Structure 1
Amino acid sequence: MSNPILPRRTVFRGALLAAAAAFNPVGRSWASETRPGFISPPPLDGQLLLDDAARTAAAEDYGHIVHHRPWAVLVPGSVNDIVKMVRFARSHGLRIAGSSALGDSHSTQGQAQVAAGIVIDMSALSTLHSIDATSAWVDAGVQWLQLLNATVLQGKSPPTLTDYLELSIGGTLSVGGIGGQAFRSGLQVDNVLELEVVTGRGDLVRCSPTSHKMLFDSVRGGLGQFGIIVRARIRLVAVPSHARTYTALYNSLPAFLADQKSLTDDGRFDYVEGSVVTAADGSRSFQLETVRYFDPRAPPDDAALLAGLAFQPGTARATDTSYFDFVNRLAPLVAFLKAQGLWSLPHPWLNVFVPQARAATFVQYVLDNTPPEEIGEDPVLLYAFRPSRLTAPFVRVPLGSHAFLFSLLRTANPGTPGNVAALLAKNQLFLDKLKQLGGKAYPISSGPRTPAEWRQHFGVRWPWFAIAKRAFDPDNVLTPGQGIFA
């Protein structure tokens, strides 16, 4: 494809009037017009917003728990706008961070927020520049759904996809990006071939495994600490047109975990996930969800695929859909949640990686301390992957041949401060137990919040992490919301 595909958002120069702004480096304040003692920011292709509505939106994320208002919001009209503003922020001691979409960033603890700094609305950069047989070169603000809409027409797809597709490519590449294909293909960060990054020094650098490798390895899963991803080359693989989804129930947690481990080893399925199911009477079972992609001319052999698995007899079900409908299966649920107002409630999520040897112990501990009313009908994910498939050094997972993602994707309903605080306290209880068992937080939700906790989280990788920070963001300009550096 030689011509760029139209971006998801229009160019802001034509849609909005540019905001004239000035910064007072002494009083640390902004104004919408030039005043004595104020410094004008660099000329921009986009605009710098100072209005209350834009700043309030930038103080939100999917968690609706942490609220840090920035001084300004950059809506970039080009990558060069980001270069200019990072250099401006560095020169004047400001902090800066990129957010995938204001008010809809899918982190939950203020990770992409900046108190009294500058937030970049990365959704303004959302062009698919090219798609070929093996890769796609895209802006960081492109959503995975947008990319799939283009690639599926060519029988192609990224190898690993998150269950929810309306996430930005740059956002998930900054944290990891896990899904039911990870046991086979690794995380989304393991399937990026090349990146264009604006470092904390204000340098625009294209990096890959063979060019500026240290930056490439640092930025993938680097939590936005070293650079702002502005473009990415995503690996594509051929996919059949259809998907058969199998579900089955287990009463035994150990049997459920053992079968998942076995399935990630023998590779009979293309996708392996699972969840905890809470019945109306409060009892719990475990649902296996596996998928085989196929061409309708050669449908899967159900008996062979389900052979040897220890699920409850009579609970197995199979459903056929197109590949696209399978990977985008959450779209109706998301629409319902938004229509019911549940999307805007607080989400005190907990996402963790549990070592395989201690998974049954930890999961049972969490379930024993989580009454059904604290979960309601919210999903509780539990599925296996293989750490050996992961290549990004700063995505921290337990040691061993296998590990499990365990996610309490809770909605605080009612969303009162007291209820939210109680659920966050529960999360901390579970994190403390997880540390004792050798697990790691997946830092899109509750997890490390202080420099000391982050040093423990990164463990033997911490010295490398600190060296990379000094190399690419020596003035600590980028992404303070994680709380990694004082």
Structure 2
Amino acid sequence: MELAMVCTRVSLLILILSLCSPYKFIQSPMDFGPLNLLPTTTTASSDFGRILFQSPAAVLKPQSSRDISLLLSFLSGSSLNKVTVAARGAGHSIHGQAQALDGIVVEMCSLPAEIDFFKGEGEISYADVSGGVMWIELLEQSLKLGLAPRSWTDYLYLTVGGTLSNAGISGQTFKHGPQISNVLQLEVVTGRGEIVKCSPSKDADLFNAVLGGLGQFGIITRARILLQEAPQKVKWVRAFYDDFSSFIMDQELLVSMPDLVDYVEGFIVLNERSLHSSSIAFPANVDFNPDFGTKNNPKIYYCIEFAIHDYQNKNTNGEQAVQVISSQMNHMVSQLYSVEVSYFDFLNRVRMEEMSLRSIGLWEVHHPWLNMFVPKAGIGDFRDLLMDNISPDNFEGLILIYPLLRDKWDANTSVVLPDSGSSTDHRVMYVVGILRSANPDDGCSHHCLQELLGRHRHIAGTAGARLGAKQYLAYHSTPSGWQEHFGRRWERFAERKARFDPLRILGPGQGIFPRLSNDGDHDAAHGSSAT
């Protein structure tokens, strides 16, 4: 055993020397004892955004948490290098957050896809899941037991560790909180290489730091996810609006009914394309043919989407519940549609949209997305700002907008929410997702893409300064931009970084902390000089 460890460390030393050399010697797969480090791959240097492409020097395909621990332990104990490490799940980031220029990318999907269930009788049920497992895999397995996680993302082909490193939100968030509010325990490999099991009662500061921590403090290798009884069917409803105030008021009405409503989202209908693309997964005949006006005088519409779970053993009546709820709403006359689908099909609805886009070559294109958390008091102004900076007639993609409730979020985690301000109803805030696509084959090449990114920077900057909005899945190009993003939370974030990843090895693609060597500046390691 000692000989194997010595061989592994010698091999790692060779790796580090090669990475620090001006010449890159990693040209073929390299066997580092129990570690298998491979040359850079196309997938490791790109992501869903297709905006930044940063090639790592090597890719680690771990078979256990110990593989990751060995790598980080060696890097944190060496003063010869400034090599960084990024954990990559499904690669669904937008701005290279899971990339590591000339560093090492850890492919989390290489971990064994382990899912172990505990089904309590009148007690808590949960699943212990490895960090590289996708949510779709957990759903498929848990449904066999009549169980499912409570909180989801819209798209299920993402890894458990990846979404927990951000927050994980969808239409259930108003009711159950984000995914990070539904975790009982984590196994984490810190930037020091320590394997730690943590929870709200054990090593709670690491637990809270890692949840929403953008991969800065440790790599999530296992998570204990809270489960609930899964419904058999879902009553899926859409209602259309031509007035923004009515749209917002009805969304807030719906999230005030958690005993009746299980899911609430909404989106802006800008043109015929957005109406059609948003209807691909909705298996009902939507007889809505609005007048979108003209290019110079566009007319905008809105759609609320909500769902009611149907538990057959509880004698629920989805149709009756829809009638009770819709009688209190102010949607356009005759523009309410409902359909019953299986729980699995409802949760996996975005997959249908993905397959449609793949079939016409519009999936692997640029995705200059922007996601914002907006205080309730500023949502009307944000809508106006948004409309001032997009062209409804040629917008490609979807704009989501729906309410969240602050008291479903744990302030001890690393997620940054906007201040509530002086709003009379500070409990409500909104998430707005500008999920646009930019296809190079349709003329949106480099210049066009940069123009779209510039518009998004303007929206984010203006909304932040005027409305107190904060980016979700944030991207800032400078450490000072990150300090402004975190605001009064920056000191705690930097202190946690100094404790759990003092050499700043992890998460280089986020651009929050420049990497330090072992003889790096002590004050910088504690976050006081990151500007």
CA displacement at 1:329 relative to structure 2: 1.1
CA distance in 2, matches of 1:381, 1:178: 12
Structure 1 position 202 matched with structure 2 position 193: yes
Task: Decide whether the 8 Å contact of 2:26 with 2:58 is kept in 1.
Answer: no
**How big is each residue's C-alpha offset from its partner over 1:322-359, in whole Å with a ceiling of 9 and x where there is no partner?**
11111111122111212222111110001111111110
Quote the residue 1:276 is aligned against: 268
Structure 1 position 24 matched with structure 2 position 52: no
Quote the residue 2:437 is aligned against: 411
Quote the residue 2:175 is aligned against: 184
- Equivalent residues, number: 454
Map 1:84-233 → 2, pairs under 5 A:
84-90=70-76, 91=78, 92-101=81-90, 105-133=91-119, 134-233=125-224
CA displacement at 1:456 relative to structure 2: 1.3
Quote the residue 1:289 is aligned against: 305
CA displacement at 1:299 relative to structure 2: 1.9
Of 149-158 and 279-288, the range deviating more from structure 2: 279-288
Secondary structure of 2:330's aligned partner: coil
Of 85-94 and 209-218, the range deviating more from structure 2: 85-94
Of 311-320 and 387-396, the range deviating more from structure 2: 387-396
Structure 1 position 386 matched with structure 2 position 405: yes
CA distance in 2, matches of 1:158, 1:78: 24
Of 404-413 and 87-96, the range deviating more from structure 2: 87-96
Paired amino acid for 1:190? S
> Alpha carbons of 1:22 and 1:466: their partners in 2 closer, same or farther (altered >3 Å)?
closer
CA displacement at 1:33 relative to structure 2: 8.7
Quote the residue 1:72 is aligned against: 58
Task: Decide whether the 8 Å contact of 1:278 with 1:372 is kept in 2.
Answer: yes
The percent identity for this pair of structures is 36
Quote the residue 1:266 is aligned against: 257
Task: Decide whether the 8 Å contact of 1:394 with 1:458 is kept in 2.
Answer: no
Quote the residue 1:235 is aligned against: 226
Structure 1 position 298 matched with structure 2 position 284: no
> Alpha carbons of 1:313 and 1:167: their partners in 2 closer, same or farther (altered >3 Å)?
same
CA distance in 2, matches of 1:375, 1:235: 39
Paired amino acid for 2:457? Q
Quote the residue 1:15 is aligned against: none
> Alpha carbons of 1:19 and 1:202: their partners in 2 closer, same or farther (altered >3 Å)?
closer
Paired amino acid for 2:17? N
Of 163-172 and 258-267, the range deviating more from structure 2: 258-267
Structure 1 position 458 matched with structure 2 position 458: no
CA distance in 2, matches of 1:325, 1:342: 22
Map 1:464-483 → 2, pairs under 5 A:
464-483=492-511
> Alpha carbons of 1:202 and 1:19: their partners in 2 closer, same or farther (altered >3 Å)?
closer
Secondary structure of 2:366's aligned partner: coil
Structure 1 position 63 matched with structure 2 position 63: no
Quote the residue 2:345 is aligned against: 325
Choose 1 or 2 for highest CA Rg.
2
Secondary structure of 2:139's aligned partner: helix
The one of 319, 325, 335 aligned to 2:355: 335
Task: Decide whether the 8 Å contact of 1:42 with 1:88 is kept in 2.
Answer: no
The one of 19, 44, 66 aligned to 2:34: 44
CA distance in 1, matches of 2:66, 2:25: 23
Quote the residue 1:432 is aligned against: 461
CA displacement at 1:448 relative to structure 2: 2.3
Secondary structure of 2:306's aligned partner: strand
Of 317-326 and 254-263, the range deviating more from structure 2: 254-263
CA displacement at 1:97 relative to structure 2: 0.8
Task: Decide whether the 8 Å contact of 1:22 with 1:33 is kept in 2.
Answer: no
Which TM-score applies when normalising by structure 2?
A: 0.82
Paired amino acid for 1:322? S
Which TM-score applies when normalising by structure 1?
A: 0.90
Task: Decide whether the 8 Å contact of 1:21 with 1:31 is kept in 2.
Answer: no
- Structure 2 portions without partners, runs of 5+: 1-10, 120-124, 273-291, 293-297, 421-425, 515-531
- Structure 1 portions without partners, runs of 5+: 1-17, 35-39
Give RMSD over aligned pairs: 2.0
CA distance in 2, matches of 1:89, 1:374: 49
Quote the residue 1:37 is aligned against: none
Task: Decide whether the 8 Å contact of 1:129 with 1:138 is kept in 2.
Answer: yes
Secondary structure of 1:385's aligned partner: strand
Paired amino acid for 2:471? A
CA distance in 1, matches of 2:453, 2:200: 39
Of 213-222 and 86-95, the range deviating more from structure 2: 86-95
Paired amino acid for 1:450? T
CA distance in 2, matches of 1:142, 1:284: 40
Task: Decide whether the 8 Å contact of 2:114 with 2:130 is kept in 1.
Answer: yes
Task: Decide whether the 8 Å contact of 2:96 with 2:509 is kept in 1.
Answer: yes
CA displacement at 1:239 relative to structure 2: 2.4
> Alpha carbons of 1:209 and 1:367: their partners in 2 closer, same or farther (altered >3 Å)?
same
CA distance in 1, matches of 2:51, 2:12: 30
CA distance in 1, matches of 2:181, 2:22: 40
CA displacement at 1:30 relative to structure 2: 4.6
CA displacement at 1:27 relative to structure 2: 1.7
Quote the residue 2:524 is aligned against: none
Task: Decide whether the 8 Å contact of 2:63 with 2:110 is kept in 1.
Answer: yes
> Alpha carbons of 1:185 and 1:33: their partners in 2 closer, same or farther (altered >3 Å)?
closer
CA displacement at 1:21 relative to structure 2: 7.2
Task: Decide whether the 8 Å contact of 2:262 with 2:309 is kept in 1.
Answer: yes
Quote the residue 1:449 is aligned against: 477
CA displacement at 1:374 relative to structure 2: 4.6
Quote the residue 2:525 is aligned against: none
Of 330-339 and 59-68, the range deviating more from structure 2: 330-339
CA displacement at 1:130 relative to structure 2: 0.7
**How big is each residue's C-alpha offset from its partner over 1:169-199, in whole Å with a ceiling of 9 and x where there is no partner?**
0000000100000001110011111000000
> Alpha carbons of 1:433 and 1:321: their partners in 2 closer, same or farther (altered >3 Å)?
same
**How big is each residue's C-alpha offset from its partner over 1:388-415, in whole Å with a ceiling of 9 and x where there is no partner?**
1011532111222111110110001234
Task: Decide whether the 8 Å contact of 1:128 with 1:147 is kept in 2.
Answer: no
**How big is each residue's C-alpha offset from its partner over 1:11-57, in whole Å with a ceiling of 9 and x where there is no partner?**
xxxxxxx99974426525553599xxxxx985225x1111xxx4332
Paired amino acid for 2:504? N
Paired amino acid for 1:156? L
> Alpha carbons of 1:135 and 1:29: their partners in 2 closer, same or farther (altered >3 Å)?
farther
The one of 371, 394, 397 aligned to 1:351: 371
Paired amino acid for 2:451? A
